[in-house]
Chains A and B, each alone.
Chain A
Amino acid sequence: MTKTSDLGSEWQLTPPLSTRLRGMLGATGKAAKRDIVLGMSISLLFLGLFLAVFAPTLARTDYERTDPVNRMLPPSTDNWFGTDNWGRDVFDRTIVGTRLSFLVGFSVTLISSVVGVSIALIISYFRILDAVMMRFVDGFLAFPTILLALALISLIGPSIGNVIIALSVTATAGKIRLVRGAVLSLRESTYVEAARAVGVPVPRILMFHVLPNIVSIIIVQATFTLASAILAEASLSFLGAGVPEYVPSWGNIIATGQGYIQVGFHISFFPGLFLTVTVLAVVLIGDSIRDHLDPKLRGRLRTTAQQ
């Protein structure tokens, strides 16, 4: 963040974005030491990331190798999570599924945050564009997320990329609405008015005066998006409308086990457990960030009881 002109630096009343982010990271780190729930959630998420990155190395067998002799085996020391209807190792498939869940979750979060925030910032300064865009957003929000994603995927076909696209489209609509509201209220604040009065150009106001002040809202919303994207991907794959069947996903492993509920309880149980724990960790992290970093929201939107 270089100071381009004397005027700009003089009127940069809000700390730059990078400083804010660093401050937030530090505060989260400190909070994690005090708050055991947050600490555990962050550790679990890192464990998940570790599994996602190193899944192919960690898998002890080829997760696609079928072994009909050893099908439907219960969990044992050889196959920690048992084997499925083709004799494939459920543990290996589950950790490879971790990779997909994190890939989809983080991609959707990143895409919808960047696109959503950009669109929201731009339309908040152009009345006509705003009016048109918000009708579209409202239209999209009239559909439940998964149903819309389901319809989109039925049209563009099941693939990892298309799942990411479909979920990003639905997540972006919500982002635009949330950020636009925040930007509209910030636009009336005195420091934005002051910046405008001294002639700071609109893009600069948006980048250096408005954006740093909505960062905490964006981050809290991002954790929510991450949690729901992971859940949504699993739901879609469970219905057979997510990733193609040959890609192991928590959702389609659970769907496999569903058909063998009488004899193969373990097939669905473990991926479901991974899914629940991951989403839980993300939700708890989001709650903590909100509580620790945004004093204005503290209490009002508190969702977990930590005292």
Chain B
Amino acid sequence: MVGIITFTLVYVGPGDPAAIIAGDEATPEILEEIREDLGFNRPFPVQMGDWFWKLLQGDLGTSYFSRREITELITPRLQPTLSLGFQVVVLSTLIGISTGMLAAWKAGSRLDRNLMILAVLGFATPGFWLAFLTIWVFAVNLGWFPVIGYKPIQDGLIPHLHSMFLPVMVNSILASAFISRITRSAMLEVLREDYIRTARAKGASEFSVFIRHAFRPSAIPVATVIGASIAGLATGFVLTETIFAIPGLGRMLVDSIVRRDYPIIQALLMVVATVLIAVNLIVDILYAYIDPRIRY
């Protein structure tokens, strides 16, 4: 289904890729030749069938412009995005869950209120503007980090993390706002349960009540929202990679859209959708691990 939508979307677009490749001064003969060459003159179901068949074999197609295999083009772009994604998921989960639990623990206090105000702010702040502000403060004025410039892991872990610090922070803070809100409300819900009162009554320490009795039942909505925030990250990365000039998949998508390199757009949308479906599957499997009553 995802594949059909992706392909149809790109196919029905009014832009004629042959005309774009050939440039402004192309004669009709040249256009026809390019169409023949890339198979644009075949009927729609044939083109789609062909695309799917290749997809199943792991062949994402060929770029209109560089005429290279897309899989080959994507590979060097994977590392920055994966590194960014991994760091952001880990960091936002840590920040989100810990602040959420803290807010639930001190529910109703000033700390709780301030944390939740921050969380709402985090939802309302556009990532690209926050990125702009952090670049201005930490890179332009304080000079702690490079304004732009990505260093791959091959240059050493420390320089790599240093160059990634601002983008990671911006994305983590925004993603953790959502996780924090959900953690807090899920915890508060669970804390009203009878078995929490029982646990307190039998003398379990407050810490143990929180970690052992309350956290696990509230982990299900938290896992859901972390899964959902990964979908949000896909969007965030397109923006962050553009601002911080990180040569990842997000930048690649923006560049391809500007150049109307449809096979790459198709391939990237497929990759993103597949990753997100995989994430949903993992979250579903995690449910069973968190709550043994859930069986598949």
Known: A150-B253, A239-B238. A143 touches B273 (CB 8 A): yes
Kindly identify which residue among B124, B232, B260 contacts A154, using a CB–CB cutoff of 8 Å: B260
Contact with A along B219-251 (1 / 0, CB 8 A): 000000000000110110011001100000000
Within 8 A of A (CB), among B135-183: 135-136, 140, 147, 181
> B235 is contacted by which of A138, A146, A268 (Cβ under 8 Å)?
A146
Q: Give Cα A147 to B117, complex, Å.
A: 29
B200 proximal to A (CB < 8 A): no
A-B pairs with beta carbons under 8 A, tally: 140
- Let me know if A235 and B132 touch, CB within 8 A: no
Those of B97-131 within 8 Å (CB) of chain A = 103, 108, 112-113, 116-117, 119-121, 123-126, 128-129
B243 touches A147 (CB 8 A): no
Q: Mask for B257-296, Cβ within 8 A of A = 1, else 0?
A: 1101000010001001100110000000000000000000
Across the interface, which residues of B come within 8 angstroms of A301, CB to CB? 185
Give the complex CA separation of A151 and B271 in angstroms: 14
Most chain A CB within a 10 A radius of its CB, from B126, B136, B238, B269: B126
Q: Is the CB of B124 within 8 A of A151?
A: no
- Specify the main secondary structure of chain A where it touches its partner: helix
One digit per residue, 1 when the CB lies within 8 angstroms of any chain B CB and 0 when it does not, for chain A 210-249 equals 0000000000000000010001001100111100000000
Do A143 and B272 touch across chains, with their CB atoms under 8 A apart? yes
Residue pair A261, B136 in contact (C-beta under 8 Å): yes
Given A276-B126, A302-B185: A144 and B272 interface contact (C-beta under 8 Å): yes
> Is A262's CB within 8 Å of the partner chain B?
yes
Q: How far is the CA of A234 from the CA of B128 in the complex (A)?
A: 9
> CA of A156 to CA of B13 in the docked complex: distance in angstroms?
6
- Whether B33 sits at the interface, judged by CB under 8 Å, is no
Tell which of B10, B147, B232 touches A261, judged by Cβ atoms closer than 8 Å: B147
With beta carbons under 8 angstroms apart, the residue of A135, A138, A254, A284 that contacts B129 is A254
Is the pair B129, A268 in contact by a Cβ cutoff of 8 Å?
A: yes
B9: Cβ under 8 A from any A Cβ: yes
B residues contacting the other copy or chain, number (CB 8 A): 54
Interface residue B211 (Cβ < 8 Å from any Cβ of A): no
- Determine which of A139, A148, A234, A304 lies in contact with B4 in the assembled complex, contact meaning CB atoms within 8 Å: A139
Residues of A within 8 A of B147 (CB): 261
- Given A145-B235, A146-B235, A155-B14, residue A275 in contact with residue B276 (CB < 8 A): no
Is A197 interfacial (CB-CB < 8 Å)? no
Instruction: State whether A150 touches B257 (Cβ < 8 A).
Output: yes
Which chain A positions have C-beta within 8 A of B135?
A: 261
Interface residue A66 (Cβ < 8 Å from any Cβ of B)? no
For residue A279, which residues in chain B have a CB less than 8 angstroms away from its CB? Answer: 123-126
Question: Quick check: A235 and B9 within 8 Å, CB to CB?
Answer: no
CB closest residue in chain A, given B10: A155
Could you tell me if A239 and B124 are in contact, using CB atoms closer than 8 angstroms?
A: no
- Which residue of chain B is the closest to A139 with respect to CB atoms? B1
Interface residues on A, range: 35 or more
Q: Is the CB of A272 within 8 A of B132?
A: yes
A198 within 8 Å of B by Cβ? no
Q: Is B38 an interface residue (CB 8 A)?
A: no
B252 to chain A, nearest CB (A): 12
Chain A residues with CB under 8 A of B235: 144-147, 235
CA distance A265 to B272 in the complex (A): 34
Of the residues A231, A238, A241, A303, contact of B120 by C-beta under 8 Å? A303
Min distance, Cβ A130 to any Cβ of chain B, angstroms: 15
Would A276 and B124 count as touching, CB distance under 8 A?
yes
B239 touches A142 (CB 8 A): no
Across the A-B interface, give the 3 residue pairs with the lowest CB-CB distance, nearest first: A155-B13, A272-B129, A280-B124
9 A/B residue pairs, CB under 8 Å, sorted by A: A142-B277, A144-B276, A150-B253, A234-B126, A235-B235, A239-B254, A276-B125, A279-B126, A303-B119
Q: Apart from A151-B257, A155-B14, A299-B189, what are 12 other A-B pairs with CB-CB below 8 Å? A: A147-B269, A150-B257, A151-B269, A155-B12, A156-B13, A238-B128, A254-B129, A261-B136, A276-B121, A276-B126, A299-B188, A305-B103
